Each structure stands twice: as structure tokens, then as C-alpha cells.
Structure 1
């Protein structure tokens, strides 16, 4: 294990200050490009767009889920679940966790506008996530590959999330720090980072699964890297903490509203935008229902074709995580996290256009795209990132008005 963690670069690593400046240069350049893209989207926004024909750059911050985070910041959570005319639970603030909107509200105090606080938090957290990603990948890759991976991340198709009122940037910062703590075997940090993740974005249950798989891997590789009792205790305790924290919001919502299934019922309200009638939840059911929705209802293709294509895609992803040299180069921690998060999505997520945003926690895999040393390849990936970024911004903000254009 110790041998696997060594980088192939014989050159001394730059100081922390120099690293911070290098990452800042990449991040700022990427943010200038994204700002131009978002401004262009506001100019192209029409009457049918979510932002309207007179959209301004600031409107992108509170568009879509940004409006819900703003509502949490200024109004809190409802004590009684709102109902639709048919008596079903309506969309409401309980679907959105509190740390991001409350932090943005606190930051906004000197400026008097929640949008400003949200923008500052997202931009700052995105930079923090970029720095954390650098250190996470630098233990496995040389300096050049690591910086290119950071550039892909900062300029990626979903880079607009660093500019808008969504909790993703902040959650990525917590996540990358937590993964770095595991890579460096500094488990005490997890006792703070896990609750922060749990109350920023859903998904900490995936981290619980990751710690379980990581603990199993550490046990079977203890001959290569000694596994001492304190490390066993920390892995188990942190895994249990992640599991408890992952269900905590459901209990809080149930207690506050007097409705035990308040959180799940709220989440189901959003799924009714795609599926008519009562929506229920059992593991894997949302994913299977989504395959049926897209292949049969939208594309009018045989359902069996959907299962074959999706199943084949999942097998290819599994094979890449296990065998692809560029991915193996990133280390077992990133590979186990990626597998755990994908399993989590299969268990709970109804696939729709938000899937692109939901895949952002897999961003450490950008390192695999940076491994090839060809400058043509790396520039090509960067161009593809920027093209994908404009496509996403154009569809979700300039056009975004239907269920097929939801960030």
C-alpha cells in the first residue's frame, strides 16, 4: 500500500502557498468563462424560460433550486406539510438541507442580499474544493496531471454550480476533504466532516457504504499496511456516524411536522412531475421506474432494450473502476467512493435531467482523464468540458422551462 501511494514524480512538491496560487489561477480563469456563459444565457432567455425575457445575471443565482434555498434562509421550514388540491404532499422546503442556505444568509448580512451571500459561498467553496481535489489527486499523480485534473473540474460541464445558489460546491468541499482524510488516515476529521455533509446535501449514506467497503479492503490488505486497533475503531465509528447522520434529517422532518414520512413524502412530490399518481419509495424502484419512463413513455422504445443498454452501461462502468489503468492509478479510495456513490444513486434516484448534477460527486475521476500525457488529449478534454458546460447552461438556464430541462 505504501508503495502504491508514492507519486512517480521525483520533483519536490510546491509549497502550500504556491499550490494555492496555481489552483487559484486555474479557478479564476474558469470562473471568468462560466460568467460569460451565464451572461449569454440571460441574454438568450425568453418568455418561456424559467428566468423570463428580462433575465439578469443575478437571477441565475436564485433560479430553480436556488429559490428554495433562499426560502429556507428567509422563512425556515414549514411546521405543517402543504398539500395539493388532491390532498397529496406538495413540494416544500423540507427537501433542502439547512447548512448552505443558512451559511449564505450569514455571509449576506453585510450586503443585504441573500443572492450575494449564496454566490460568495458557492465561489469560495468551489475554490476550496479545487484545492482539496489537488491534494487528493497529488498523492497519486504528478504535478502536471494533477493541475490538468483541477482544470477539468473547474471548467467541467457542471461548473455553473460554482456560481449559483445550489449546495453542491459546498458539499464537494466537505466530501473532498473527507476523502483526503481517509487517504491520509487522519480519521478524526471525519467526525466533523460527516455531519457537515449530512446537513448540506443528501448522499452521506454513500459515504457510509464507502467506509464499510474501505474497512473490508483494509482488513484484507493488512499485511501490506498494518491495521491497528485505533484505525479499526475509527473506520467503524465514522461509518456508523455516517449511517445515523444519513437518516437524521428524515427524523427531524418527521418530528417537526408531526408526519413520520414527511421527508420521503416531500421527495415524492417532485417525482410526480414525471410520474402521475401516487409515488412510493422502495430501494431500486425509482431507478427502474425511470428506465421505464424514458424508454417506454418518452422514447417509445421497448423496455427490455432499456434494461439491456442500462445494464450494459453499468457493467462497463464497473469494469472501468476495477480494471482501467487510468482509474486504478487514482487509488483504491477514489475507486471505492465512486462505486459506493453509484450504488447509492441506483438505490434512491429517479433518473431525469438532474442526473448530470447528481454525478458531480464523482469528480475525483477527472484525474483519470488527466493521466495521458498527450497535450492534444488534455486540450481536447478541456475543450469538451467547455462545450459541455455551455450546452448545460444554455439548456438549463437560457431555455430551462420543462421537465426535460431541469438542472
Structure 2
């Protein structure tokens, strides 16, 4: 555990240096300077302010608004179109930030970043606990560290909810692993208000419950009740935020219409952004077959012996969550960050999840190669997707 924490902290320090360097040389973004959620800001006077400006940028601006003012009672519109607004962001993280700010007297940037970092480090520890029985202690630590080194891992030190979401996600999967149904039910309710992951997690719950029902050990009445409570919690977690947004604004589709505004559309059409990207890459005629082929190849790898040691729940999560990302997210810009929650995949990349694992030396070599690739991509992610900071809120 100590090694995981030390390496995790070291990686956050390295990311901080990369972020500071990029923040000191901001880039303008055409079309959104001064727009909602992206106010124009002067150049930072110091490296420290440059770092904190980047750490609280983009979605962090919205979380700051929620922590300070809550959610609007009506959806903002312009010429009849729903504008970007706070209802796209779930409340557990900004509420936790607000409460911690009141208790400590610290500012939003420090509080939000601290919660994100602590949550991600705690998640790394739980990843080791969850993966050790499957792939062994060394490989489990390697996987946790690779998640902390992933291209979008600087998000874990920004005022974003990815750190808390990863912590809750791994905790739910760990509870399911030990068949602690009521614990999983309580955590599912929290997950449903932290990140939009309740729907793919519900698929995992369904698969795990079905496997338990088909096992040799019979279900007793008390366990049936606990499982029923978990199923009910999954249903509530999946729709809770949509219902809350509806009750608060009076608009039945408040959440979905707000999400669609980030797609510059009236409604979200599943997989449309991925299909558009595929068509831009290989041409209109081949776009759909190419996309279907890539998804099929991904699923084939996860159901093959290459990933067999992950077990049913983790493989189901990796499949269900990727399909959820493809159905409801924008291509590229957000997906790199969303992929942080696919934490079991590094075990596949280094060969630790295979039924017949390669020698330890080969796994170590693979882990080093993946780590170097991740850190290299992290530089590009910071410079190309995170760096446009002339549109950030001053700290």
C-alpha cells in the first residue's frame, strides 16, 4: 500500500509540473473566449496562480458555481435553445466541497483539489485490494500506478469528480466481490449522484446477481431481501438525478436536454459522435463497419482468455461502461478523461489478466512500456486539450 501511495503522490507532483509549464503559456480558443463557463481571464502573474487556474478550469468552473450558488431553478435558454448550465454536473462532489470549505475555511481550489487527490489515492489502494486475488499483488500495484499515470490522470488533482467517482466505483465492485449486498446498495446511491455511472454499474449488478442465483449455494430469504434492496438502489440511482432536475426546474427532460446542449443538439442520439468520428477517419461508407469492428474487437478481447483473470464483474464493467461512453459522450475530448474509470484495462495491457500469464520479467517490461506511453500521452493531453487557459476563471 505504501508503494502505491508514494508512486501516486510522485505522479501527481509530476503532473503538477507539466500543468504549470502549460498554464504559463496559454492558448486562445476561437469562439468561446468569454462564453458561459469560459470567462476571459488575464495571464497569471505567477506559476502558482497559473497552476491553480488550470486546476480549476473547464468543468471545474461549473463545480465552483455549484459549490457557491447551487443549481438554477430554471434552465437558461437563448433563442429557445438550452444553454450550458449546472444541471449537467451531479451534486455529490460539489456538495462535499462546499461542506469541507465551511468546516475548514479553505478556498474552493484547494478544497476541491484536495478531495480529488485524496479520493484518487484511496481508489488506488482499493484497486490493489480488488485486483490482488485476481492478478497477484505486484501486478495489482502496477495496475493501480498505471491508472494514476494515465493520459488524463491530471484530472485527479483538478476540481473534477473523477477521483471521487473512481473511489465509489471500486468500492461498489469490491462490495459486490464480497457479496455485501446492502453495502453495495448504499454505495450505488452515492454513485448515482457522483458521476453518471449508475446505468453501466446496474448491468454489472445484474450479471453478478444472476451468477449468484445460478451458483451451487442456495439463496436464503435474508439474502433475497438484501439483493432486492440492491436492485432497488440501482433503479433509484439510475434515475435519481433526472427526477431531481425535473422536480426542481419543472422540465421533465432538464438533465437530458442540458447534456444535449454540450453536443450542440436538442437531444442525444446514441453513438452519433463516435460514428461521425469514424466517418471522418475512414470515410462515410466505411465509418459504421469500422466502428462496429473496433467495438467488437474490444469486446472479443475482454471475453477471451487474455482477460479471464479479471472475472465476470470487472469484464462486464469494462464492456458496459465503454458502450455507455460511446452512446452518450462526445468523441475524444471527454472520452480520454472518462476512460480513467476503465481501471482494469492496464492488467490486460501488461498480460497480468491472461489465463496463461507471461513471465514476471515480461510483465514488468510491458508495465514500463505502458507507463512511458501513458506519460507521453499525458504531455499531449495537457498541452492540446487542457492548455487553452486564456478562457479560464481567475483564481
Residues 322 and 230 (structure 1), Cα distance of their counterparts in 2 relative to 1, 3 Å cut: farther
Contact in 1 for aligned 2:200/2:320 (Cα 8 Å)? yes
Contact in 2 for aligned 1:290/1:352 (Cα 8 Å)? no
1:123 alignment counterpart: 117
Deviation at 1:238, TM superposition (A): 1.1
Deviation at 1:358, TM superposition (A): 1.8
Matched, 1:397 2:386: yes
Cα distance between partner residues in 2 of 1:377 and 1:71 = 43
Structure 1, unpaired ranges of 5+: 1-18, 273-277, 403-407
Q: What's the TM-score, normalizing by structure 1?
A: 0.84
Q: CA RMSD for the aligned pairs?
A: 2.2
- Deviations 1:132-182 (CA, angstroms, capped at 9, x unpaired): 111010121222111111110111112111111111110110110110111
2:310 alignment counterpart: 330
Residues 56 and 100 (structure 1), Cα distance of their counterparts in 2 relative to 1, 3 Å cut: same
1:280 alignment counterpart: 267
Q: Mapping of 1:80-229 within 5 angstroms?
A: 80-84=74-78, 86-109=79-102, 110-220=104-214, 222-223=215-216, 227-229=219-221
Contact in 2 for aligned 1:46/1:53 (Cα 8 Å)? no
Cα distance between partner residues in 1 of 2:285 and 2:42 = 40
Residues 215 and 401 (structure 1), Cα distance of their counterparts in 2 relative to 1, 3 Å cut: farther
Residue 325 of structure 2, aligned match among 342, 345, 361 = 345
Q: Number of residues paired by the alignment?
A: 368
Residues 293 and 141 (structure 1), Cα distance of their counterparts in 2 relative to 1, 3 Å cut: closer
Residues 233 and 79 (structure 1), Cα distance of their counterparts in 2 relative to 1, 3 Å cut: same
Matched, 1:293 2:276: yes
Matched, 1:240 2:232: yes
Deviation at 1:227, TM superposition (A): 4.5
Matched, 1:363 2:343: yes
Cα distance between partner residues in 2 of 1:333 and 1:229 = 24
- Deviations 1:284-315 (CA, angstroms, capped at 9, x unpaired): x331x22453345x55x532311111111111
Deviation at 1:253, TM superposition (A): 0.9
Structure 2, unpaired ranges of 5+: 353-357
Aligned partner of residue 271 in structure 1, secondary structure: coil
Matched, 1:309 2:290: yes
Contact in 2 for aligned 1:214/1:336 (Cα 8 Å)? no
Return the structure number with greater relative CO, CA threshold 8 A, min gap 6.
2
